[in-house]
Amino acid sequence: MIATDAHRSSPVRTALAAARRTFITVGLFSGVINILALTSPLYMLQVYDRVLSSRSVPTLVALSLAAAWMYSVQGILDVIRSRILVRVGAGIDEALGEKVYRAVVALPLKDQRIRGDGLQPVRDLDAIRAFLSSGGPIAILDLPWMPFYLAIIFVLHPALGWLSVGGAVLLCLFTWLTDRFSRGPAKDAVRESGRRMAEAEAGRRNAEVLRAMGLTDAMADRFLRANDRFLEQSERMSDVAGLLGGMTKVFRLALQSAVLGLGAWLVIQQQMSAGAILAASVIMSRALAPIEMAIANWKNFVTARDGARRLDTVLAAAGGEEEPMALPAPRHQLSVENVFVGPPGKQLPVVQDVSFRLSAGQALGVIGPSAAGKSTLVRALTGVWAPLRGEIRLDGAALDQWPPSDLGRHIGYLPQDIELFDGTVAENIARFDPDATPDGVIAAARSAGVHDMILHLADGYETRIGEGGAALSAGQRQRVGLARALYRDPFLVVLDEPNSNLDAEGEAALTEAIRGIRTRGGIAVVIAHRASAISAVDLLAVLQGGRLQAFGPKDEVLKTVLVPGRPGVAGAQEPPRAEAERRRAVSGRTDRPGREAGE
């Protein structure tokens, strides 16, 4: 019912095809309803031509009872048809909902050049469901019955039939014009709506920055400009639909009057009865009603049709390949083999020709200046970004050989920007695992050294943290994020700047957590700018310009990289404070004397 240009195997078309039997049932209901719609004109015809001439009250009563029964059946079938269509819309939503959500989540990881409203696929699915639940499909199902009604009018009199056919042709022309002139504004309106929503979402997520730095007025201006463009396109689309819809309504009323006028002339000429005039008028109105209803719902139809096309494109871009076969849990090795990595959608690598190998019980610290490619490497190690070249393997299996859900259970990840979800502390630590047990959650919290801190929250593990972890401080979010990374003892734990918001107590807990990973036979990779984060690692890698400059035992790499006067990663000579931190890191101490201990 919603046309798309995609291949027949498109997800939207497949979902609609799955409801084919339901559509056939609704079509049969529509057939019966359209036959019963003749009740009114037939009743009028009989009343005017038989009852009034015979003055028979019993005939009038019998006709009225029969009409009442047929009206009741028609009303019941109409209600059932509407309810079925509502449930068809819900079924399409259920069939595509998970795919759409996965596409929304996956697309930013496939191409970072995507701009606009990232939730547009969800809105497109809503548009399809809303159209299927509206009067639009009913108008489409009633359209095939238009020739049936016109044929009946021809039976009453050919002149009335040809007048009705001419009116139907003009109404179809109005429908085509509606589609022709509303298609462009509809696409522009959707595009501008996405930009407007993106501006609003950016402002909501950065509300603190806007308030603190006085940016509210400037960002409000940006939003208003986007909103003005959206309103302009929406007004264009509504103006076109409103103009043609108004013309259609007036034309249909004029046509109905024309049928009455022509019918009156034919009665005067004694070519038809008076009752046939009213019957022809009602039947013609019924014949043309689907066209008028289609024009009234054309905006929803265009939105749903364009949404279906966009959804097919989005779902195809997100990919829907079958998951690979499950593999045994990794226990031995992580190997990085000549890896080149760049942002999704771009071919220029940020990390180039990086190779190293880690065994169970080892921890690697990765250091280097800003923009050296450290976070890019992290995204590749966790499978977030696919390498442009080379392979990353766990126990010999490349990351893309693992089902994503299984791979996620074997990897713990703490990103630079901590993103927690609206829910309890326990739910966030357990990664919203429905089968999580209190013992598993507490074990992860203890491994991260955050158990006591959680107990001091308002409701302990049941404390709701709000969207993005708004109820927690930055340091608390980072420590809860660390516990989430350690949940169920994943084999590979990747920590990107894990101590950026930690105080001395948090850094001590981080060091113990890394030691715990090594002790249980896991592998840890720690990205660090502060030396205290790598005090528990045994290997060190230096990245600069996206290339691996050094790799080996921590003490040896530090001696090589931080030789005074040697051109290196961070400059010619290490500042005294950095040297002091390095020495404490090498010795395994995490406490910092004086003012630093309270940072």
Please compute the mean of the pLDDT values over residues 390-396 and round it to a whole number.
Answer: 94
Model pTM above 0.85: no
The mean pLDDT value of the chain amounts to 82
Please compute the mean of the pLDDT values over residues 445-449 and round it to a whole number.
Answer: 93
pLDDT above 90 as % of the chain: 26
What's the burial of 138, exposed, middle or buried (CB within 10 Å: 0-12/13-18/19+)? buried
Instruction: Identify the CA nearest to 305 among candidates 408, 178, 394, 401.
Output: 178
How crowded is the C-beta side of 46, counted as CA atoms within 13 Å?
Answer: 16
Quick one: residue 345, left, alpha or beta (phi over 0 = left, psi -120 to 50 = alpha)? left
Note the pLDDT of residue 256.
Answer: 80
**Least confident span in 118-122, 225-229, 349-353, 474-478:** 118-122
Note the pLDDT of residue 587.
Answer: 41
Which residue has better confidence, 444 or 167? 444
pLDDT at 116 over 90: no
Please compute the mean of the pLDDT values over residues 115-142 and round it to a whole number.
Answer: 81
Note the pLDDT of residue 581.
Answer: 45
The pLDDT-based confidence of 7 (bands split at 50, 70, 90) is very low
Instruction: Identify the CA nearest to 330 among candidates 388, 271, 408, 254.
Output: 408
Please compute the mean of the pLDDT values over residues 408-420 and round it to a whole number.
Answer: 89
pLDDT at 93 over 80: yes
Q: Are 534 and 367 in contact (CB under 8 A)?
A: yes
Euclidean distance between CA atoms 588 and 16, whole angstroms? 63
pLDDT above 70 as % of the chain: 89
Euclidean distance between CA atoms 292 and 168, whole angstroms? 10
pLDDT at 596 over 80: no
Please compute the mean of the pLDDT values over residues 257-271 and round it to a whole number.
Answer: 86
pLDDT at 594 over 50: no
Note the pLDDT of residue 488.
Answer: 92
Which residue has better confidence, 584 or 285? 285
Q: What is the pLDDT of residues 195-206, one digit of tens each?
A: 888 778 777 777
Note the pLDDT of residue 412.
Answer: 93
Q: What is the pLDDT of residues 343-373, one digit of tens each?
A: 887 778 999 999 999 999 999 999 988 888 9
Residues in CB range of 73: below 8 A, 6 or more apart? 32, 36
Please compute the mean of the pLDDT values over residues 250-254 and round it to a whole number.
Answer: 81
* Structure letter (DSSP) for residue 49: I
* Structure letter (DSSP) for residue 291: H
**Least confident span in 336-340, 416-420, 474-478:** 416-420
| pLDDT winner (highest mean) among 160-164, 433-437, 515-519 | 515-519
The pLDDT-based confidence of 8 (bands split at 50, 70, 90) is very low
The pLDDT-based confidence of 3 (bands split at 50, 70, 90) is very low
Euclidean distance between CA atoms 552 and 517, whole angstroms? 19
SS3 content of the chain, % helix, strand, coil (to 5): 65, 10, 25
Please compute the mean of the pLDDT values over residues 68-88 and round it to a whole number.
Answer: 90
Q: What is the pLDDT of residues 369-391, one digit of tens each?
A: 888 899 899 999 998 888 999 99
Per DSSP, the three-state class of 395 is coil
